[in-house]
Structure 1
Amino acid sequence: MTSETRRGKAPGRLAQPAAAAIGASILLTIAIGLLGPSVMVPALSGPAWQPPYSLHLDPGPHLVVGLAAAAIVLGALGSLGLLLALTRASPSGLLATGPPGAGQWLPDPRLLVRLGCLAAALLAFLPPSGSGDHLNYAAYGRMVTLGVNPYTHGAVDLPTDPIARAVEAPWREEPSVYGPVATAVQALASWIGGDSLRLTIFVLALVNAAAFIATGLLIDRFTAHDPARRLRAALLWTANPLLLYQLAAGMHVDTLAVACMVAALLARGRPVGSGLLLGLGVAVKINAGLVALGPAWELRRRPARLALMAGTALAVVVVGYVIVGPEAISPMTRTSKSISLASFWKLVQGRLQSIVGEGSAYRGEIQIGSLLLLALVAWSLFRLMSRLHASGSPHPLASPGSSGLSAPVVAAVIVIAYLFATPYILPWYDGLAFGMLALIGASALDGLLITHLLILSLAYLPARVLDQVMPHDLDWLRTVVRSQIAPWALLGLTAALVWWAWRAAGRVPKPRASTAPPP
């Protein structure tokens, strides 16, 4: 057997079980919602004939948590396996042209996109799972329709309301931290749903599924010219089982922000359109504004177009916040000082308290430290990208034919640096990075980000405070996995990211000096 034949058969042997793992993961995610209310799926009040639908089988906590853990692990392994198979495949084996037994078989990206879109659409008809955030969305929209300001009030202020009553602790006292566009969508859903929590959630789920599918189709169209990039993009977004678990089944508002930002990057040749989409994304969730640094960098030598894009984006954001009022700013600034249990900054906080004392949460010092770490991670990645670009390297992360790093590359670097450095991190935040990563070339960043989402997803099984529902023999999911294992794992992964970036940059060949005589 020749070396070429061995290389040809290797992707097929790896791709088939990896594709099966992805399919199994998606089916398990669907099964969690289909089984009905559980520790993973909050119950929804309203007429039973209204969507979303489930079998109401009352599954036990051990079963649904086990299904979720299996879905997460299988999804991560399947995604990593197919991405590895893709890197090993020969150019002639990029698409599935024969039965799975063929030596160079890899799935057809068009089929993956269709299946991913179908899964996202199906999940919209099932009750959301994994967290209770969607209950907050419904309550904030309800407040708007009742004339109550969601930026100054919490669900606790509507104790007899059938929608607000469903919000879970500890979020009952918390006002909205989302932007005016997100609040407008929530208000529309509440207006349609009325007193039915089920129908309100279903409208929000339809918007969420549409945003997820639209993002996938935009990315697919952008990469359609290259079969390898198209397959990778489908694996990173539309058919990514971890994103289907977190964004589609979890129904997080981040999906809408990602859709706006991906569309803005793909419309960057039209500054007004790009600015409008950037503004809408920021007005959904403020941290999506990190993406705007990408097109801003790309247009730095074209000040008129940059001013037009930035002015349009700023106008959209300002108008949105003028409508909802300045009270919308305060909840966001308060949340920015929080530290999530799975963050390695929680370890730093605990260490400082053990040394200096527990009289302070040391949040200010941790914020400074996180900004320094963000700068280090971003600098390490920009150093690599800049060297690749300067060398004229054919590496997929280089930006050949341009005067500098492209907008998607800059946006991806900034967003990834933020996610690896921020003190407050939740699994669905990674969706923004996957949207950016699907627009640029393949690298070790693919595996690092999938691992990042794997760790966070396992840490938040489920992302609900369920002291009275979760059995005590599952407390270790919060006290051990979320509070101890995940922070150390994320710290090691961040160190691995910086190490890889510096090592890869050191291997980039220096640009050759020109031998042509001066003009």
Structure 2
Amino acid sequence: MTSETRSAGAAAAPAATPVAVLATAAIVASILLTITIGLLGPSALVPALTGAAWHPPFSLSAAPDPHLVVAMAAAALVLGAAGLLAGLSVLPSRGGVARPLVARRLVALGCVAAGVLAFLPPSGSGDHLNYAAYGRMLTLGLSPYSHGATDLPGDPIADAVEEPWREEPSVYGPVATFVQALASLVGGDSLRLTIFVLALVNAAAFVATGLLIDRFTRHDPARRVRAALLWTANPLLLYQLVAGMHVDTLAIACVVAALLASGLPSRGGALATGALLGLGVAAKVNVGLVALGPAWEMRRRPGRLALVAGIALAVVVAGYVLVGAEAVGPVTRTSKSISHASPWKLVQGWLQEIVGTGSAYRGEIQIGSLLLLALIAWSLFRATRAARGPAGESAAVVALVLVVAYLFASPYVLPWYDGLAFGVLALVAASTLDRFLVAHLLVLSLAYLPARVYVLPDDLEWLRSVVRGQVTPWALLALTAALLWWARRAARPLHTPRA
């Protein structure tokens, strides 16, 4: 190829629009801020890790001021959301942003960022300290489902667990616990090394999910770029799932792979779907909602449905048999809780004002949340049916509807729970749901700065008392109302005027 030919080809390629350039800049800046927070070392957002200094993860131990790291995190989240929304807004034009080269660069950006974050201390919450302690318990012959960190006094791993979780047993499935035990076996008495092994597994799960989604969307340039924005290069997910190192990442990887395997017509596809769904549920039980997607798609093939369900159930049962029956109770405990940023916290307060403060009204709120979940799911089913026509919904669309309904209706929701919706969202066609979920994740992420019990300076306590306790519940309530309004409008049939 001559230089003239190359020049002509380059000239023919559509140039990136100003909005696309700004979107990319905002995303990159957000990711760099997230990396910098971990690089600075222990702070209000980054729990300290004990162990040999030469063990990864590494940091500068700069002891940054709480005001600085909180401001950096807030900037990372706002810039990340702005970059995502801007990037998604230019996709329909199929201009410069919707090119395979751009998709590859976004995927590479996300993969590199995940790899870098694996070598830095986790930030945002202290959940990873719990993971290390649960793995330690299993390796020492204790059940993490009936013991807490206080049952290992003086242990270098268990002593790192923060309040108020020191007495809490594990609420995670056996697959997650086995991974945590493996990390403990490798890390030994070094908390840093134990966390590093967990971080490597977590980053690998995130990257693997991104590569699977990229392969699934590779035939449509615009859809491929959108998928990369929603998952691999999504700065909000990199902040929550990778830098935050939450076990949700592993569970999401399993169920996304299961959804893709469910599209394979062979018997092997059914076997893989069942096994992957079982592994996902055995990592974290709430991802089981995704299983209803393949079940819906296979409803007219009872033999295949029975095979997938049987394999999934066998994997889950085998996992719980290995860890013991006491694992069942703690895993379902969060279903009765109400998180501080949830709109249901407002309902709880109203009920206590009207009826009395003698009850937490958890039972009534559970019933209300189920009714709301049904309403949202029904509304979204109607909206997606109108968009896709009478041919029916795919497994991914059904799974997405149920996951979104769960996230908007559940009394107990945390920002990293949204990762499940984004993993499924990247597999379906673009819609206004993209923007609703970006807004939902942004609002929740800002509410949990930081998502750990840390003594903030007095002039930052408003982050908990005002933002998390007052602003966020109302914002999520408004967002839920807007979602229902949009779904109602999207479900209306289009009337074509008579000629």
Classify the TM-score, shorter chain: over 0.9
For the pair 1:68 / 2:73, whether they are aligned, the reply is yes
Equivalent of 1:127 in 121, 140, 154: 121
For the pair 1:497 / 2:483, whether they are aligned, the reply is yes
Please tell me whether the aligned partners of residues 260 and 281 of structure 1 are also in contact (alpha carbons under 8 angstroms): yes
Letter in 1 for 2:289: L
2:381 corresponds to which residue? 382
Could you report, residue by residue, the CA deviation over 1:228-262 in whole angstroms, capped at 9, with x for unpaired residues? 00000000000000000000100000000000000
CA distance in 1, matches of 2:108, 2:276: 25
Equivalent of 2:472 in 486, 489, 492: 486
Letter in 1 for 2:441: L
**Following superposition of structure 1 onto structure 2, how do residues 115-264 of structure 1 map, counting pairs within 5 Å?**
115-264=109-258
CA distance in 2, matches of 1:314, 1:95: 41
1:508, distance to aligned residue in structure 2 (A)? 3.9
For the pair 1:471 / 2:470, whether they are aligned, the reply is no
CA distance in 2, matches of 1:21, 1:508: 37
CA distance in 2, matches of 1:82, 1:390: 28
1:355 corresponds to which residue? 354
1:384, distance to aligned residue in structure 2 (A)? 1.2
CA distance in 1, matches of 2:136, 2:46: 21
The 3 A distance-change label for structure 1 pair 509 and 273 is: farther
CA distance in 2, matches of 1:96, 1:443: 20
1:505, distance to aligned residue in structure 2 (A)? 1.2
The 3 A distance-change label for structure 1 pair 508 and 139 is: farther
CA distance in 2, matches of 1:432, 1:43: 28
1:509, distance to aligned residue in structure 2 (A)? 5.3
Letter in 1 for 2:301: R
CA distance in 2, matches of 1:477, 1:387: 41
For the pair 1:328 / 2:333, whether they are aligned, the reply is no
1:450 corresponds to which residue? 438
CA RMSD of aligned residues (A): 1.6
1:389, distance to aligned residue in structure 2 (A)? 3.0
CA distance in 2, matches of 1:409, 1:223: 15
1:283 corresponds to which residue? 282
**Following superposition of structure 1 onto structure 2, how do residues 83-102 of structure 1 map, counting pairs within 5 Å?**
83-87=88-92, 89=93, 91=94, 93-95=96-98
The 3 A distance-change label for structure 1 pair 10 and 508 is: farther
1:440 corresponds to which residue? 428
Please tell me whether the aligned partners of residues 85 and 435 of structure 2 are also in contact (alpha carbons under 8 angstroms): yes
1:334, distance to aligned residue in structure 2 (A)? 2.2
Could you report, residue by residue, the CA deviation over 1:109-148 in whole angstroms, capped at 9, with x for unpaired residues? 1100011000001000000000000000000000001101
Please tell me whether the aligned partners of residues 17 and 96 of structure 2 are also in contact (alpha carbons under 8 angstroms): no
- Misfit runs of 4+, over 6 Å: 8-11
1:42 corresponds to which residue? 47
SS state at 1:151 partner: coil
Could you report, residue by residue, the CA deviation over 1:42-70 in whole angstroms, capped at 9, with x for unpaired residues? 00000000000001111010000000000
Could you report, residue by residue, the CA deviation over 1:332-379 in whole angstroms, capped at 9, with x for unpaired residues? 232210000000000000000011000000000000000000001000
Could you report, residue by residue, the CA deviation over 1:368-417 in whole angstroms, capped at 9, with x for unpaired residues? 000000001000000111223336xxxxxxxxxxx521000000000010
Letter in 2 for 1:326: A
1:426 corresponds to which residue? 414
Q: Which runs of 5 or more structure 1 residues have no equivalent in the other structure?
A: 1-7, 98-106, 392-402, 513-519
Please tell me whether the aligned partners of residues 231 and 423 of structure 2 are also in contact (alpha carbons under 8 angstroms): yes
Q: TM-score, normalised by structure 2?
A: 0.94
CA distance in 2, matches of 1:456, 1:370: 18
Letter in 2 for 1:38: S
Please tell me whether the aligned partners of residues 155 and 165 of structure 1 are also in contact (alpha carbons under 8 angstroms): yes
Could you report, residue by residue, the CA deviation over 1:97-117 in whole angstroms, capped at 9, with x for unpaired residues? 9xxxxxxxxx70110001100
For the pair 1:346 / 2:345, whether they are aligned, the reply is yes
Letter in 2 for 1:339: I
CA distance in 2, matches of 1:146, 1:322: 19
Letter in 2 for 1:358: T
Q: TM-score, normalised by structure 1?
A: 0.91
CA distance in 1, matches of 2:245, 2:420: 14
1:459 corresponds to which residue? 447
CA distance in 2, matches of 1:418, 1:122: 32
CA distance in 2, matches of 1:276, 1:309: 8
The 3 A distance-change label for structure 1 pair 157 and 86 is: same
SS state at 2:336 partner: coil
The 3 A distance-change label for structure 1 pair 441 and 452 is: same
Please tell me whether the aligned partners of residues 53 and 126 of structure 1 are also in contact (alpha carbons under 8 angstroms): yes
Equivalent of 2:105 in 105, 108, 111: 111
SS state at 2:163 partner: coil
CA distance in 1, matches of 2:300, 2:248: 31
1:507, distance to aligned residue in structure 2 (A)? 4.6
CA distance in 2, matches of 1:293, 1:18: 35
Letter in 2 for 1:57: A
1:9, distance to aligned residue in structure 2 (A)? 9.9
2:64 corresponds to which residue? 59
1:365 corresponds to which residue? 364
Letter in 2 for 1:172: R
Aligned sequence identity (%): 73
CA distance in 1, matches of 2:133, 2:80: 32
Letter in 2 for 1:26: I
CA distance in 2, matches of 1:109, 1:357: 56
Letter in 2 for 1:441: A
For the pair 1:409 / 2:397, whether they are aligned, the reply is yes
CA distance in 1, matches of 2:95, 2:172: 47
The 3 A distance-change label for structure 1 pair 386 and 96 is: closer
Q: Which runs of 5 or more structure 2 residues have no equivalent in the other structure?
A: 1-12
SS state at 1:283 partner: helix
For the pair 1:33 / 2:38, whether they are aligned, the reply is yes
Please tell me whether the aligned partners of residues 11 and 85 of structure 1 are also in contact (alpha carbons under 8 angstroms): no
CA distance in 2, matches of 1:41, 1:466: 10
